[in-house]
């Protein structure tokens, strides 16, 4: 009976391994020397792209996963994002490595905020690209989620199944992806080392609990979100708008952080700002929330 995210032996737990960089490029100190995108292969079928802080201070992370039959991109970047150009280059390189000529691409989103969809126009009308609709109903149908948000959907990229878990609260449209192949859980803006802006607090509490339940008994190699705002110093973050973050926190969190989030949320009598070691719960009034996240 596997109640925890555990394996019988410390032997890699049967998930496909990969590597993360020891530090990411952020946005400086000299923007002239900073590439627009950092492209990191976690392994040869899983790419992490980070937009430069010199392009947009949000410097979001994008994820590109390849299966045997199709690829899936999570998010398209912020501001003047030219994600379509850079993703096309990564795909072309992948195809050359595999000796293939084409692979269909699905463009999905962790949620609907502007700093994750800004590069969408570049993908529209591209050959071999399917955009997941940026609506709750369209997203629900695309991933075969019977009941929103309690149900779980999935997509098979070809010998690579991703589970799709609705986690509204930061945004009505927030979803998490669980990649069974690597054991990586992609949590978008709902859990990352930074300020977790909560628009709908009761919904966010329930989503965190459901994500804990979903991961129970599953191997979780990394929890990867879409920003880093935290410093490597515990309980400290970089102010909103910071481009250059030479001492930023690592991208990867663990299921332990998810448990910590759930516990903290459930301990609150009412929504309140709550700084933990590696992230801060940051409730916002849905109506007065700034548009940026």
Please report, as ranges, the residues that interact with Zn ion according to CB under 5 A: 113, 115, 189, 293
CB of 63 to Zn ion, least distance (A): 14
CB of 173 to Zn ion, least distance (A): 10
CB of 248 to Zn ion, least distance (A): 15
The DSSP line for 47-102 is: EEEEE-TTT-TT--EEEEEE-SS-EEEE---SSS--HHHHHHHHHHHHHHHHT-S-
Name the phi and psi angles at 271, rounded to 5. Answer: -55, 130
Q: In the complex with Zn ion, which residue's Cβ is closer, 58 or 179?
A: 58
Name the phi and psi angles at 203, rounded to 5. Answer: -65, -40
Q: What is the DSSP letter of 32?
A: G
Edge-to-edge strands, sheet with 71-74: 37-43, 46-51, 61-66, 71-74, 105-108, 129-131
Residue corresponding to tokens 């993360």 = 20
As a whole number of angstroms, the distance between CA 14 and CA 7 comes to 8
For residue 41, count other CB atoms closer than 10 A to its CB: 15
Q: In the complex with Zn ion, which residue's Cβ is closer, 189 or 203?
A: 189
CB of 256 to Zn ion, least distance (A): 23
Q: In the complex with Zn ion, which residue's Cβ is closer, 181 or 226?
A: 226
Would you say 138 and 128 are in contact if contact means Cβ atoms under 8 Å apart? Answer: no
Q: In the complex with Zn ion, which residue's Cβ is closer, 118 or 184?
A: 118
CB of 113 to Zn ion, least distance (A): 4
| Per-residue exposure over 220-242, b if at least 16 CB sit within 10 Å of its own CB, e if not | bbbbbbbbbbbbeeeeebbeeeb
Q: In the complex with Zn ion, which residue's Cβ is closer, 182 or 293?
A: 293
Q: In the complex with Zn ion, which residue's Cβ is closer, 45 or 115?
A: 115
Q: Is the dihedral of CA 24, 175, 160, 257 positive or negative?
A: positive
CB of 79 to Zn ion, least distance (A): 12
Task: Tell how strand 71-74 and strand 37-43 pair up.
Answer: unpaired
CB of 216 to Zn ion, least distance (A): 26
Residue corresponding to tokens 């496909």 = 16
Q: In the complex with Zn ion, which residue's Cβ is closer, 103 or 176?
A: 176
Q: In the complex with Zn ion, which residue's Cβ is closer, 26 or 181?
A: 26
CB of 164 to Zn ion, least distance (A): 17
């Amino acid at each position: 009976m596997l109640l925890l995210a555990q394996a019988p032996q410390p032997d890699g737990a049967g998930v496909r391994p990969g590597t993360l960089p020891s530090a990411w490029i952020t946005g400086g100190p000299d923007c002239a020397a900073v590439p627009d995108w950092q492209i990191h292969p976690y392994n040869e079928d899983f790419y992490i792209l980070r937009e430069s802080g010199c392009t947009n201070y949000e410097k979001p992370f994008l994820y590109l996963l390849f299966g045997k039959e199709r690829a899936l991109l999570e998010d398209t970047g912020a501001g003047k994002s030219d994600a379509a150009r850079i993703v096309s280059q990564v795909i072309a390189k992948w195809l050359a490595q595999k000796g293939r000529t084409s692979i269909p691409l699905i463009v999905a989103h962790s949620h609907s905020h502007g700093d994750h969809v800004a590069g969408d126009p570049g993908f529209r009308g591209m050959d071999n690209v399917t955009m997941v609709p940026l609506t709750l109903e369209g997203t629900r149908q695309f991933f075969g989620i019977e009941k929103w948000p309690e149900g779980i959907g999935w997509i098979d990229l070809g010998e690579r199944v991703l589970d799709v878990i609705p986690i509204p609260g930061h945004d009505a449209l927030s979803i998490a992806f669980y990649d069974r192949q690597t054991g990586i859980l992609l949590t978008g803006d709902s859990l990352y080392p930074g300020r977790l802006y909560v628009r709908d607090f009761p919904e966010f509490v329930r989503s965190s609990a459901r994500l804990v339940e979903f991961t129970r008994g599953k191997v979780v190699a990394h929890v990867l979100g879409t920003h880093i705002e935290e410093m490597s110093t515990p309980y400290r973050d970089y102010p909103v708008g910071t481009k250059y973050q030479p001492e930023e926190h690592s991208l990867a969190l663990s299921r332990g952080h998810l448990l910590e989030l759930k516990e903290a949320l459930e301990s609150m009598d009412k929504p309140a700002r709550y700084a933990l070691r590696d992230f801060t719960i940051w409730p916002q009034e849905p109506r007065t929330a700034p548009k940026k996240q």
